[in-house]
Amino acid sequence: MANNPDRPGLKTLWVYIKEIGRELKRPAAWFFIIIALVLATKSLEVIRTHRGQPPLFGEIFQPVLRAIGGFVADPDAIDRYLRRIPAFIYQIVIPFSALWFWFILTGWKKSGGHLVRALREGFSVAWNGFGLSLRCIRDWWKTLLLIFCVMLPFIYAFATTESFRRHYPYLQRLRLERTELAKIDKGISEQTRLIASSASGIQTRQDDNARVELDKLEARARSVFWGSLGLLLLFELLRMLYMVSWEFFFRGFMLQGLLRLGLDWHAVWIQMLPYVMLHSTKPGIELYYTIPSGVLLGVLAWKTGSIWPGFLLHFIGAVVFDVFAMFA
């Protein structure tokens, strides 16, 4: 007698478990499992940020950052650095490695059982098939320039609001150091004026004190300038790696994988949803801005077959945003 679908028994449950087991033999199932694991990790990172807790794996990467330079040890800035390093591992290294491993297995017979050839061909398929090819940039640079010009007024409008400046502590620190540098420059001008106004040919104690103070101020100015520049450059470098990992995961691994499953436009909408949700700690305007930007970046990756056009818009826009926020 057939089981009643309204009252399934243990036998029906066992059938479902076996069906799940059969499904796990398909690559598509593991593709979605990897997406779920990455999104869960990313969500945990967002929650910890919102609660003011230390970043994921901070105890591993903090000594590395402290070894780079003393300015990185600033407690107000170090979390911003630490939060960007793990994402590169779980958003690009692990998903790409999984793809590479799968294409090695599927291409093993085609390579004639030759390990080096299988490694090379598997890497090539994973690289080109999931958005890492750079070939499209030459054909799309004019379109990207036009899009960026349209974006520029909005970047300026958002970057010059106090709510955005308060949200990014590294911008606050750099703006404070700009203020300090201006005060030092003013002090240097005053000491220079004192020295220049001294009696001609007569060296006084006041001159000596002014020259000593001038040397101290100039040394402090150099320290603040190079420290701020190093902080900004290191942050932008880590931001670049961070954004590459974001673009690869959402517009490479996720979007290109969904396109391979035949979803077409649905793939653009699907990748946009978690992309927006994971910006939940951003200021309100920026959060809503991620909806059209997520669609735009998805369409670019779909039509070009590459993550790099979207990455260039995303990264250059972020750098320009920082410049406006600090100097405008």
Which token pair is 247? Answer: 């673009």
Which residue did the predictor score with more confidence, 181 or 90?
90
Q: Counting runs of H as helices and runs of E as strands, what totals does the chain give?
A: 15, 0
DSSP state, residue 133? -
Cα of 201 vs its chain's centroid, Å: 59
Considering the chain, what is the average pLDDT of its residues? 79
- The tally of CA atoms less than 13 A away on the side-chain side of residue 204 is 11
Structure confidence by residue, pLDDT tens digits, 1-35: 445 555 666 778 888 888 888 888 888 889 999 99
256-263 long-range CB contacts below 8 Å, 24 or more apart?
Answer: 256/129, 256/130, 256/131, 256/301, 256/305, 257/31, 257/130, 259/302, 260/129, 261/28
Nearest to 64 by CA among 86, 42, 37: 86
Q: Distance between CA 188 and CA 213 in Å, rounded?
A: 8
Q: Averaged over 52-64, what is the pLDDT? A: 72
Task: Kindly give, in sequence order, each residue whose CB lies less than 8 Å from that of residue 160, ignoring residues fewer than 6 positions away.
Answer: 324, 325, 328
Nearest to 126 by CA among 146, 88, 96: 96
pLDDT (average), residues 114-137: 90
SS3 55: coil
CA 77 to chain centre: 16
Radius of gyration of the chain (CA): 27
pLDDT at 253: 95
∠79-80-81 over CA atoms, to 5°?
90
The strand ranges marked E within the chain are none
Roughly what angle, to the nearest 10 degrees, separates helices 169-196 and 75-82?
A: 140
Lowest mean pLDDT among 55-69, 106-120, 226-240, 313-327: 55-69
pLDDT of residue 36 exceeding 90 = yes
158 vs 122, more confident: 122
> What residue spans define the domains of the chain?
26-327
Please tell me whether residue 68 adopts helix, strand or coil conformation: helix
Question: What is the per-residue pLDDT across 185-204, written as a single tens digit (0 to 9) for each?
Answer: 666 566 566 556 655 544 55
